[in-house]
Amino acid sequence: MGVTAHVSPRTTKTRRASRVGDRVLFGLCALAGVIVAITLVDLGYQLVINAKPSIDRFGFGFLGHEAWAPNFKVFGAADMLYGTAVSSAMALVIGAPLGIAIAIYLSMIAPRRVSAIVGPLVEMLAAVPSIIYGFWGVIVLAPFIQRIEPGLHSALGFIPLFGSPQTTGISVFTAGLVLTLMILPIVSSLCRDLFLTVPRELTEGAEALGATRWEIIRGIVLPSTISGVSAATVLGLGRALGEAIAVSLVIGDANGIHASLFQPGSTLAERIANQFPSPVNSLHTASMFYAGLLLLVICLLTSLGARAIAGRFDVERRYARAATA
């Protein structure tokens, strides 16, 4: 190629062109980064200024106040915070172990061909839109829940969580199950990728020493990936906390704090989805912005928390994988 002949005496013209080109490309890339940063800052700003009337009126009392009565201009988020916590906790309690188990199956138990089919199928659960989960939940799942509630109540009724059954199947319990389905693919695919990065020497060494598969999982795979697994779980939690549409269809958007999971309830995101399009007064809108602000803060903390937990670990693994690939 002709290029080699011209390397040292490059004409000033091409050098200038290359310098300008580099600057332009760098400028565009940096601009994109600046836009991301501005978006994030403005996001917080818009929520604060639009929530301001409600913040001025209720202050931090909003968090502990249980009433939500748009007609009387009284707003509090306590029951939404409770509903958000309970429904997400339920999703996590069921979804995290199930997701980790699926990841174990895909990375260690299933034959390669099987996991090449089952893995993508599980990930498809993440592709299903939340509105479809919502309608499936309300039309297919809720009637089923309604039928099994009495059984659960009579078997586990001594735990306050399984209170007396309702007639509709619209409940925190149903919402928790729908959220479980939604976080399952997140936890399982992240954990599977983590488990696959565990060095073969370690697992094979243990196998050579006569460890069973469970002993390898418990003694080597889980301890060496525990931070990543926790981070994956927290990311799943973040998804559950912020889900609006699916939950708004199955939880009932009801006020009040109930011990029983079979009662309808509300979450921060769900309340906004349900009531934002038809506000009763401007304080109602502002209070929903306030709820959105709370949700933003919670999700901010979960994302940063997941990052902190995964820490250096994740980055090193990723680079290691990129280097070997």
Footprint (CB under 8 A) of another protein, residues 5-34: 6-7, 10, 17-19, 21-22, 24-26, 28-33
CB of 175 to another protein, least distance (A): 15
Q: Does residue 313 touch another protein according to CB under 8 A?
A: no
C-beta of 139 vs 259, nearer to another protein: 139
Q: Does residue 93 touch another protein according to CB under 8 A?
A: no
CB of 50 to another protein, least distance (A): 5
C-beta of 174 vs 260, nearer to another protein: 174
C-beta of 152 vs 178, nearer to another protein: 178
Cα Dmax for the chain: 88
Calpha distance 121→140 (Å, rounded): 21
DSSP symbol at 70: G
Footprint (CB under 8 A) of another protein, residues 263-292: 269, 272-273, 276-277, 288-289, 292
Residue with tokens 């795979």: 221
Footprint (CB under 8 A) of another protein, residues 151-210: 181, 184-185, 188
Footprint (CB under 8 A) of another protein, residues 125-144: 125, 127-133, 135-136, 138-140
Helix residue ranges per DSSP H, the chain:
12-58, 61-64, 78-104, 112-127, 130-136, 142-156, 172-196, 200-208, 213-216, 222-242, 245-250, 268-275, 282-324
CB of 157 to another protein, least distance (A): 25
Count of residues touching another protein (by CB under 8 A): 95
- Pick from 55, 149, 302, 309: which binds another protein (CB under 8 A)? 302
CB of 70 to another protein, least distance (A): 17
Half-sphere exposure of 110 (CA within 13 A, CB side): 17
CB of 135 to another protein, least distance (A): 6
- Pick from 161, 245, 254, 257: which binds another protein (CB under 8 A)? 245
Contact 244, 253 (CB under 8 A): no
Footprint (CB under 8 A) of another protein, residues 221-240: 235, 238
From 59-67, 72-80, 120-128, 151-159, give the range in contact with another protein by CB under 8 A.
Answer: 120-128
> H or E stretch including 69?
strand 68-69
Collapsing DSSP to helix, strand or coil, 74 comes out as strand
Calpha distance 75→68 (Å, rounded): 4
Calpha distance 104→138 (Å, rounded): 32
Calpha distance 153→289 (Å, rounded): 37
CB of 162 to another protein, least distance (A): 21
Q: For strands 74-75 and 68-69, give the pairing.
A: antiparallel
Residues 6+ apart with CB under 8 A from 266: 68, 79, 80, 83, 251, 252, 253, 254, 255, 274
C-beta of 74 vs 299, nearer to another protein: 299
Calpha distance 259→161 (Å, rounded): 6
CA geometry: angle 229, 295, 68, nearest 5 deg: 135
- Pick from 78, 249, 283, 309: which binds another protein (CB under 8 A)? 249
Footprint (CB under 8 A) of another protein, residues 39-78: 39-40, 42-43, 46-47, 49-50
Neighbours of 100 (CB within 10 A): 23
- Pick from 67, 151, 199, 212: which binds another protein (CB under 8 A)? 212
Q: Does residue 296 touch another protein according to CB under 8 A?
A: yes
